Chains A and B, each alone.
Chain A
């Protein structure tokens, strides 16, 4: 009786336990109560309302690896120009299958130095995946089936420079190779000067009776253009700086200049065609490291690169002439995922790069798509829509919203008030304006929401990388020791094992469906099972070569086998994964 009771209590207790962990996780602890969709008490505590230096990021990578050794592995894939490591987190369930045998997904950020929150978004993704493994069914499945290669920053030199050196909101965009921007034979000799020593490069203005600007009566910090015929009070003199080399120009030869996102190997064009291109494709060590990594991971079937700004979900091509190479199947995949993004990301729009933004030759997403056949999006993070959930038609309107937002929500934290300064070339001027951390990167309190929404979009994209399974395995006895073995392989997701451009150009090897157990006399790909239309593969029929397993589709192969038994079927697809089943 007692024993029964005890047993009963245990049963009830475990039932309760199951109830509170129905979605895997305890919903209340001594100190915390779970907010839906967010881990209640993560192993690695990260504040998602600030940004991290390279050292800060590395600290979190190491914490994640330490706390989740079977889920997160950290490696350096190469060095930057200044010798910093390019870190990649390999995030998956490392225990069930070798990561290279799972469909892979690449995420990177911060290729442009000043677009720093991209790194935190990529890192949020790694953190979220690791902390939710075993807790959330969708995430657990994703980690069991797929592998994420996450490079939060592929431009650590630029990130360091942006944070530690005086900069504008736009600088630097490049890495830090010093180049001769003004063509005078000297490199990077006339950059910004932080005249007021506040770590930010803001604007210079000078009182001027015939100036083009006057103060905005609604917010005197803001300058507005005067109407034609009206006299202004100020002229704008550009970003903080002095003419260091005496050529009559200010800030004309800064660090860098080149654009790391014009350095990739598809339709690469030189600088006079595509401003920002460096010497030749992958001349930049950071991009070359990424290239080498991608080439060494043929399982990568989808990719995401994060940029700012403007609230965009972009697909390629970057140049109009390449649209003709966009196969209908590829457009359909992009449209399906992109349109989902439209919904998940308020204020963001799904767009085509060359058509809706501008032409980019030698861009990263084109190399991924056209050279490697990898479905890739670029998200341009942050949009002025997020200030007051309003769409602004003009630059003036969105600028006014920025001032209002800073005033009412940030309590003027983002603005350096105008102050007098005695300039060696301009005389008495005033220096002031928005800080470098405002306008392109999210204000602290807004970061986590947008990170989560962007991550969700990317996870759904990753979910749709090929998911192969053996849908049917049938053996029919043909008599005389011969059997007919029919295997149907399914792909239950949107993305095919070979994109349209891939199939057309044989980018990736075919998928192999291999039969063991008996002597294979013949093998064929079945085009129509009902009408018995099949195409024989005469060479090496035990290993059938399948050009593509389409998204949400089936492929049927048939073998004629002598003396077959204890069959083993191995599906080996570069992008669809590799597994063996026994029958």
Chain B
């Protein structure tokens, strides 16, 4: 079996190489991604530096593009992360196109001045090991990296647990005729399998598994590798498949976390992934937002989320599917709860879901919400006819003599739209991220006044203003040690004495448009330097001559 498959796979691979290298109308594989990143660096050397943060267990680079002008680490920054989930190639494409459009518009002068005051860090692909599966002869929605040090907990090394029973190069679903099974074809579309509703007298007729899954002795199956989006420290799901040995165990997780902790200028993180707090904002829940371990968004940050979400919908329209609060151990929630920055996530695209039928049997049920049903309906309307693999009979060694069929939705299709659609999606998300950049917090020193109190004693009064829209730090960020708060620093000449006022003061969050007024009493002539700001708001400085 194997000896027969290997040459065949090699042959398919040879066929596939030219397509993936030169094909322009598909998502980029790791080599094309690197090529596009390097050409951005070559084309815009004054704005771009490209760096490989680390290599994954599979030997693939984790890239970051730092985009900005001189002193870019002293300017407020947005981090954009794509490929946070291995089967979401759209995210990588959106991050890449964001960088491309941003840089292209610098030439036209549109964003050139923006880059003088904002920095962008773009991580186009955090899951290159898993994402590779899209380009390999055997395609399935892989989540795990190539870290093979984790076994199936039975001491056996695991590769992937699937077999391509119908030899179509894809892992879809396998349904087994089974009187004790829980599944039936969907009454509205028999291509889709749903659970039988025993409450209305339905009985199951099938069991459903991933295609060719190799069940372990206890009827469980385990995926190989560690899933980046389950490997972070907020609500880390211990002992679950794909989570990893412990939180932030993987090289790529450590690399992005270390980079971001060093980047004190980041005020917001935008991730492309399954979580969605842009179509609808996260809502404030007092119980979750209090206590020693905070598990819900704080009130002020919920307001920010609301404002940003409104902007997102204005710009992109309704293209990202339903709200999704995030999942345990994901990157998006980590960026808020543990990194302390405003964190936004969107899948970038989803097929439309009709509102559950008012005239239907029930107002809202799992069955009506069945994503596959909506997806196929949308695909039919669009005339996309290659996303469903019709059910066909097959054999599986673990189910001898049973009636087995293989079929289902083509892997990747539900999360990654046809490539032709990505240009429009990317443009709207590019505009959204620019709008988020326009909302950045910005500290300015205004209304500096000097009064002479006599005998060489002066009173200096100044307003420290956040002239931006977002607060200088998130409400949660106020508690997070690694979030830089605004520092107000008054430096006097030698021979001058500060009679009153703080020479160094660290401010809590300054809301957008709000002012903090400070005054100092200084004895002695000379010049005084007042500096205010932080890396995440930019710095402002005035020299006051007394």
A contact residues vs B (CB 8 Å cutoff): 182-185, 245-248, 265-266, 268-273, 279-283, 295, 367, 370-371, 505-507, 509-510, 512, 538-539, 545
Given contacts A183-B484, A270-B480, A273-B292, contact A281 B248 (CB under 8 A): yes
Beta-carbon contact of A367 and B217 below 8 Å: no
Answer whether residue B258 sits at the interface, using C-beta atoms and an 8 A cutoff. Answer: yes
Beta-carbon contact of A183 and B506 below 8 Å: yes
Answer whether residue B463 sits at the interface, using C-beta atoms and an 8 A cutoff. Answer: no
Please, which residues of chain B bring their CB within 8 A of the CB of A295? Answer: 149, 245
Please, which residues of chain A bring their CB within 8 A of the CB of B4? Answer: none
Enumerate 10 A-B pairs (CB-CB under 8 Å) in ascending A order.
Answer: A246-B498, A248-B502, A265-B249, A266-B238, A268-B236, A271-B481, A272-B479, A272-B480, A280-B253, A371-B245
Which of B247, B502, B503 counts the most A-chain CB atoms under 10 A from its CB? B247
Answer whether residue B482 sits at the interface, using C-beta atoms and an 8 A cutoff. Answer: yes
- 0/1 string, B245-258, CB within 8 A of A gives 1: 11111000110011
Considering the chains assembled together, what is the distance between the CA atoms of A185 and B249 in angstroms?
29
Nearest Cβ distance between residue A130 and chain B, in whole angstroms?
33
Which of B151, B504, B506 counts the most A-chain CB atoms under 10 A from its CB? B504
Please, which residues of chain A bring their CB within 8 A of the CB of B261? Answer: 279
Considering the chains assembled together, what is the distance between the CA atoms of A248 and B490 in angstroms?
13
Beta-carbon contact of B247 and A273 below 8 Å: no
Given contacts A184-B487, A268-B233, A272-B481, contact A279 B257 (CB under 8 A): yes
Closest to A277 in B: B481
Please, which residues of chain B bring their CB within 8 A of the CB of A266? Answer: 238, 246
Closest to A181 in B: B481
Nearest Cβ distance between residue B188 and chain A, in whole angstroms?
41
**10 other A-B residue contacts (CB within 8 Å) besides A247-B503, A265-B247, A280-B338:** A183-B481, A185-B487, A268-B247, A269-B293, A273-B292, A273-B294, A283-B257, A370-B238, A505-B239, A545-B154
Beta-carbon contact of A281 and B503 below 8 Å: no
Please, which residues of chain A bring their CB within 8 A of the CB of B247? Answer: 265, 268, 280-281
Considering the chains assembled together, what is the distance between the CA atoms of A389 and B419 in angstroms?
79
Nearest Cβ distance between residue B93 and chain A, in whole angstroms?
28
Closest to A506 in B: B153
- 0/1 string, B261-276, CB within 8 A of A gives 1: 1000000000000000
Considering the chains assembled together, what is the distance between the CA atoms of A507 and B480 in angstroms?
33
Partner of A509, one of B153, B217, B239: B153
Answer whether residue B80 sits at the interface, using C-beta atoms and an 8 A cutoff. Answer: no
Answer whether residue B373 sits at the interface, using C-beta atoms and an 8 A cutoff. Answer: no
- 0/1 string, B139-169, CB within 8 A of A gives 1: 0000000000101011100000000000000
Would you list which residues of chain B between 227 and 248 have a CB under 8 Å from chain A? Answer: 233, 236, 238-239, 245-248
Nearest Cβ distance between residue A300 and chain B, in whole angstroms?
15
Considering the chains assembled together, what is the distance between the CA atoms of A372 and B332 in angstroms?
28
Nearest Cβ distance between residue B123 and chain A, in whole angstroms?
16
Please, which residues of chain A bring their CB within 8 A of the CB of B151? Answer: 509
Closest to B334 in A: A280
Please, which residues of chain A bring their CB within 8 A of the CB of B217? Answer: 538-539
Beta-carbon contact of A510 and B248 below 8 Å: no
Considering the chains assembled together, what is the distance between the CA atoms of A273 and B233 in angstroms?
13
| Chain A at the B interface: SS class | loop
Considering the chains assembled together, what is the distance between the CA atoms of A539 and B155 in angstroms?
14
Closest to B531 in A: A185
Beta-carbon contact of B245 and A265 below 8 Å: yes
Given contacts A273-B292, A281-B233, A510-B154, contact A367 B246 (CB under 8 A): yes
Considering the chains assembled together, what is the distance between the CA atoms of A505 and B293 in angstroms?
24
Please, which residues of chain B bring their CB within 8 A of the CB of A268? Answer: 233, 236, 246-247
Considering the chains assembled together, what is the distance between the CA atoms of A270 and B253 in angstroms?
16
Answer whether residue B103 sits at the interface, using C-beta atoms and an 8 A cutoff. Answer: no
Answer whether residue B485 sits at the interface, using C-beta atoms and an 8 A cutoff. Answer: yes
Which 9 A/B pairs are nearest by Cβ-Cβ distance? A265-B246, A509-B155, A506-B153, A272-B479, A247-B504, A280-B248, A505-B239, A271-B481, A183-B506
Answer whether residue B534 sits at the interface, using C-beta atoms and an 8 A cutoff. Answer: yes
Beta-carbon contact of A282 and B248 below 8 Å: yes
Please, which residues of chain B bring their CB within 8 A of the CB of A265? Answer: 245-249
Please, which residues of chain A bring their CB within 8 A of the CB of B258? Answer: 279, 283
Considering the chains assembled together, what is the distance between the CA atoms of A270 and B292 in angstroms?
11
Closest to A271 in B: B481
Given contacts A183-B484, A245-B504, contact A371 B246 (CB under 8 A): yes
Considering the chains assembled together, what is the distance between the CA atoms of A247 and B503 in angstroms?
6
Please, which residues of chain A bring their CB within 8 A of the CB of B338? Answer: 270, 280
Considering the chains assembled together, what is the distance between the CA atoms of A507 and B294 in angstroms?
29
Beta-carbon contact of B502 and A247 below 8 Å: yes
Closest to B240 in A: A505
Which of A182, A265, A266, A283 counts the most B-chain CB atoms under 10 A from its CB? A265
Considering the chains assembled together, what is the distance between the CA atoms of A346 and B423 in angstroms?
74
Please, which residues of chain B bring their CB within 8 A of the CB of A272? Answer: 479-481
Considering the chains assembled together, what is the distance between the CA atoms of A175 and B86 in angstroms?
37
Considering the chains assembled together, what is the distance between the CA atoms of A106 and B338 in angstroms?
31
Please, which residues of chain A bring their CB within 8 A of the CB of B149? Answer: 295
Please, which residues of chain A bring their CB within 8 A of the CB of B487? Answer: 183-185
Please, which residues of chain A bring their CB within 8 A of the CB of B484? Answer: 183, 185
Given contacts A270-B480, A271-B481, contact A510 B155 (CB under 8 A): yes
Given contacts A271-B481, A272-B480, contact A281 B502 (CB under 8 A): no
Closest to B492 in A: A246
Partner of A281, one of B154, B246, B292, B506: B246
